[in-house]
Chain A
Amino acid sequence: MDFSYTEVQQMLQDQVQKFVQKSYDFDTRNSIVASEEGYSKEFWQLFAELGWLAVPFTEDDGGLGGSAVDLIVMMEEFGKANLVEPYTSTAVLCGTLIAELANGEQKEALVNSIIAGEVQLALAYIEPQSRFNPFNVETTAVVEGDAITLTGKKIGVLNGEAADKFIVIARESGESLDRDGLSAFLVEADAAGVSRRSFPTVDGKRASLVEFDQVKVDTSTRLGGTGQAADALQAATDKATVGVCAETVGALESLLQKTVEYTKTRKQFGTPIATFQALQHRMADMFIECQLAKSIVMMAAMSLDSQDEGIEKTRAVSAAKSRVGKAIKAVGQEAIQIHGGIGMTEELDVGHLFKRVTALDIQFGDGEFHTERYASL
C-alpha cells in the first residue's frame, strides 16, 4: 500500500500550483469569466504546452498515460483555484469518449488536436427528460445510405459556446431508456440545423441548450459501432465524474482554508471569532468532511485504474459522487455562514467557490442520484 504520488504526479501538482499562484488569482479569474470567450485561450495553449491536455490519454494514443489518479491530482488543484477553462468537457469527457470509440483515422485527427489545444469540444448528451440518466436519449439518428439525420434537443451542454465540434449522443434504435442503440456522432458546431442558446453558468463557466434540427452528417462521423456507444459513454462520464469530484475536493479545501484564515483575523466582541468554540468545532467538522471526500475520491480513482469489473468501477464512482455531494453541502454552507455577511458577496472568492461546488454537485448527477445508483448496482 502506498498513497504517495509518483514523480509524474508530483510534477503535475507542482506545475498546476505554480501556474495558479503566478497567473490565476481571483481578479484574473473574474476578468476571464467576464471576457467574451469565457475562458483564456492563452492559458489553454499553456495547458497544451505543459502537457496537461494529454493527461487523460494513454501513451498509445499519444498521451501521458490516462490514469485517473493523475487526473485527480491535477483537477484537485484546478478546483482550489476555481478554474473556468473547459478542461472537463474537452479533454476528459470528449477525450475519453474519442479514445474509447474512435477508429485509427478519427483518433489521429482528433486526439492530436485536443492535446495540442487546437480544438474545443462539448458532449451533447443530456436531454430535457433525462435528468441524470445518460442513457435516456430521444434524439434520433436516422440512416439513409451514407447520410445520417440527427434531430433532438440537448440541455446543460457545458462548453457548448466555445465548442468547435459537438459529440452528440443519439438513438439509432431501441426505446428511450435502452442502452443499446445509442451512437456517438461528431458534429461541426456550425453545421446546418445546429442552433445553440448559450449562457453563463452559476459557477462562471458557459453552457448551452443545443438543438439539432435535421442535421445531416456523414456515416464517417459516427464514433464506434452502430448503436454501441453506451459503454463508452458510461466510461467517459464515470471518469469525468471522478475528475469533478477531485475538483470539488480542491474547492472545498480552499473554502476550509479561507474560512479558517478569516476567523483568525475577523474580530467581534474583542476577540478573533476563531476563539469561539462553537465555530471551532464546525471548522473541525469541515476538515473531517474534506478528508473523507478526498479519501473516497482516491478510492474511486484507484478503482478506475484497476482491473476491477466495470460494475465495480461504476459503484466506486457513485460512492465518491454521493459522499462528495454530502461534503459539498456541509462545507459549502458552513463556509458562507462562518464568514457572515461578507461571505454572501460577489466581492469575495468564497461565494464563487460555494457556487462552483454547488454546480459540481449537479454535474453528472447529484449526491442523491448517485446514492440511489449505488444502491441499484
Chain B
Amino acid sequence: MNAYFTAEELAFQEEVRHFLQTEFPADLKAKVDASIRLSKEDMVRWQKILFEKGWAAPSWPAEHGGTGWTLTQRHIFATEMGLIGAPEPIPFGMKMVAPVIMTYGSEEQKQRFLPDILESNVWWCQGYSEPNAGSDLASLKTSAVREGDHYVVNGSKTWNTLGQYADWIFCLVRTDNTVKKQEGISFLLIDMKTPGISVKPIVLIDGFPEVNEVFFDDVKVPAENLIGEENKGWTYAKVLLTHERTNISGVPRGKRKLKALRKLAANTQDGFGKPMSENASFKKRIAEAEIELKALEYSELRTLASLSVGKAPGPESSILKIVGTELAQKIDELFLELAGYNALPYVPDQFEDDFDGEPVGPGTTAASALTYFNNRKLSIFGGSNEIQRNIICKAVLGL
C-alpha cells in the first residue's frame, strides 16, 4: 500500500504548478486573497485562459475538447487549483449540464451546446429546486406541455445560483402527471431570454443576492431542446448526481484556508501580549481541523483509487460531501473566532468589485462573519447532509 504519485504524475503536478504560478492572473489572485467576490467577467476571463491551454474541461473526454486526463491527473489539477485559490469552473455548464448532453443529448445538441460551454461563452444555471421541491426533488411541479413543435412551460424554480448571470437554464420539468412522480420528469434546456421568464433575486444572510427565483409564464420552448426521451429526465439527472459528487471534499481549499488561518493567528493579538498562534487552546483547535483534513484527504484518495480501477462512484461521495462541508464550516468558525470584534461590521459592499469607499478592517477580518454565514449553505445544498446520511443508511448500512 502506498499513496505515492508515479514519476509521470509528479511531472504533471510540476507542470500544473508552473502553469498556475505563471498564468493565474495576479489581480484575480489578489481578489481571492482579499475575499473580494469575483465578477462574472473575472471568472470567464480565467476560464478562457484555461481554454487556451486546453485545460478548460478536466473531466471531459478528449473527443469533446476535454483533457482526457486520468482521475489522478484530475485530482492533481483540482488540488493545485485549490491550493493557489484559482476558481474552479462554474460547475453548472461544465460539470452539470455538459455530461448530460454528452451522454444523452443528440448529435445536434452536442454540437450546438458543448463548444460554447467549453469556451465559457455561455453561462448556465441549474433549475432543479422549487419552493416545494427541495430534498424531495422528484415532487417538482413546473410543467411542460407539448404543443406541436414546442413545450409550454409554467411554474417556478428557486435557489438558482448566479441565475442573474445566466444565458441558459437546464430544468427538470413535469411532463406527465399520471405516473409515479419520478417517471413523469423531463430534462429541458431553456434560453433565459425566452419571453415569459422572469428572475427575482434572493438576498442571502451575507447580504449578496447569490440565488434567484425564476418564474415561467407560458414560456414556449422548442421541442428540440428536450434532452433524450420525454419522462426520462429523473434518470439522467440522478446518474449525473453521483458523478458530480466527486471532487467535492474541498481538501485543497481547506489546506489553503488553514495556512491562511495560521498566518492570521500569528498576527492576531490575544489581548495579553501574545499572538493567538501561541494560545494553547486555539492551537489545539487548529490542530483538530488539520487532523480532520488529513483523514478526509486520505478518504478521498481511497475513493479515487477505487474509481481509478473502474469501480462506479458510490455512497463514498456522501462521506466526502458531509465531512468536507462540515470541516469547511468549522474552519470558518476559527476565522470568526480570530476576528473577534473585527467580525462585527456588516459592510458586504466592501467585498464587491466596485467598492470605492474606505474599507472597515483590519485586512479582511470583516469578511469572516459573512463567510461563516454564507457557508451554512454548504450543508444544505447539493443534497443536504441529512439526505447524505440517509443515503449512507440505505445504501451502505442496509437500514
Chain A interface residues (CB < 8 Å from chain B): 126, 128-133, 136, 155-156, 176-177, 197, 199-204, 207, 209, 267-270, 276, 278-279, 329, 333, 336-337, 340-341, 343-347, 351-352, 354-355, 358-359, 362, 366, 368, 371-372
Contact = CB atoms under 8 A, between A and B. Distances in A.
B100 to A, nearest CB: 23
Given A201-B345, A207-B345, A278-B386, A340 B134 contact: yes
Interface of B: 129, 132, 134-136, 139, 158-159, 202-205, 207, 211, 268-273, 281-282, 329, 333, 336-337, 340-347, 358, 360, 362, 369-370, 372-373, 376-377, 379-381, 384-386, 389-390
Nearest first, the 7 A-B pairs at minimum CB distance are A131-B271, A156-B341, A133-B271, A351-B205, A268-B136, A346-B203, A202-B346
Given A136-B272, A344-B377, A269 B346 contact: no
A344 to B, nearest CB: 5
Name the residue among A199, A203, A343, A347 with the largest chain B CB count within 10 angstroms.
Answer: A199
B144 to A, nearest CB: 23
B346 A200 contact: yes
A337 B337 contact: no
Nearest to B133: A268
B271 A129 contact: yes
Given A199-B345, A202-B369, A279-B386, 15 more contacts: A131-B340, A136-B273, A156-B341, A156-B342, A200-B346, A202-B373, A278-B390, A337-B376, A337-B385, A340-B135, A345-B205, A358-B336, A358-B369, A358-B373, A362-B341
Contact of A200 (B342, B347, B389): B347
Contact of B380 (A132, A204, A329, A344): A344
Name the residue among A199, A341, A371 with the largest chain B CB count within 10 angstroms.
Answer: A341
A132 B271 CA distance: 6
Given A131-B271, A133-B272, A344 B205 contact: yes
A128 B203 contact: no
Nearest to A133: B271
A341 B205 contact: no
B204 A345 contact: yes
Contacts of B336: 358
A201 B342 CA distance: 10
A248 to B, nearest CB: 15
Contacts of A344: 204-205, 376-377, 380
Contacts of A270: 136, 139
19 contacts: A131-B271, A176-B273, A199-B360, A200-B347, A202-B369, A202-B373, A209-B360, A268-B139, A269-B139, A333-B376, A336-B376, A344-B377, A347-B203, A352-B205, A355-B205, A359-B344, A362-B344, A371-B281, A372-B281
Contact of B341 (A155, A346, A355): A155
A268 B135 CA distance: 7
B337 to A, nearest CB: 6
Contacts of B386: 276, 278-279
A276 to B, nearest CB: 8
State the majority secondary structure of interface residues on A. Answer: mixed
Contacts of A341: 129, 134, 158-159, 211, 377, 380-381
B134 A268 contact: yes
A269 B345 contact: no
Contacts of B269: 128-131
B337 A368 contact: yes
Contacts of A207: 344-345
Name the residue among B129, B268, B341, B376 with the largest chain A CB count within 10 angstroms.
Answer: B341
A220 B142 CA distance: 72
Nearest to A282: B386
Contacts of A201: 344-346
Contacts of A133: 271-272
A262 B14 CA distance: 52
Contacts of A371: 281
Name the residue among B203, B205, B281 with the largest chain A CB count within 10 angstroms.
Answer: B205
Contacts of B379: 337
A177 B269 CA distance: 13
Contacts of A358: 336, 369, 372-373
B202 to A, nearest CB: 6
A132 B340 contact: yes
A343 B384 CA distance: 13
Given A202-B343, A202-B344, A344-B377, A197 B129 contact: no
A203 B370 CA distance: 11
Contacts of A345: 202-205
A352 B205 CA distance: 7
A358 B372 CA distance: 10
Name the residue among B139, B270, B345, B358 with the largest chain A CB count within 10 angstroms.
Answer: B345
A149 to B, nearest CB: 26
B360 A177 contact: no
Nearest to A134: B271
Contacts of B346: 199-204
A167 to B, nearest CB: 17
A320 B132 CA distance: 40
Given A344-B205, A344-B380, A368-B282, A155 B342 contact: yes
A362 B360 contact: no
A366 B337 contact: yes
Nearest to B210: A344
A329 B333 contact: yes
A355 B341 CA distance: 14
Contacts of B345: 199-202, 207
Given A156-B341, A201-B346, A177 B273 contact: yes
Given A177-B273, A278-B389, A346 B384 contact: no
A130 B269 CA distance: 7
B122 to A, nearest CB: 26
Name the residue among A176, A197, A202, A267 with the largest chain B CB count within 10 angstroms.
Answer: A202
B341 to A, nearest CB: 3
Contacts of A278: 386, 389-390
Name the residue among B158, B336, B344, B345 with the largest chain A CB count within 10 angstroms.
Answer: B344
A346 B207 contact: yes
A351 B134 CA distance: 19
A177 B272 contact: yes
A368 B271 contact: no
Contact of B373 (A267, A329, A355): A355
A156 B282 contact: no
Contacts of A343: 376, 380
Contacts of A202: 343-346, 369-370, 373
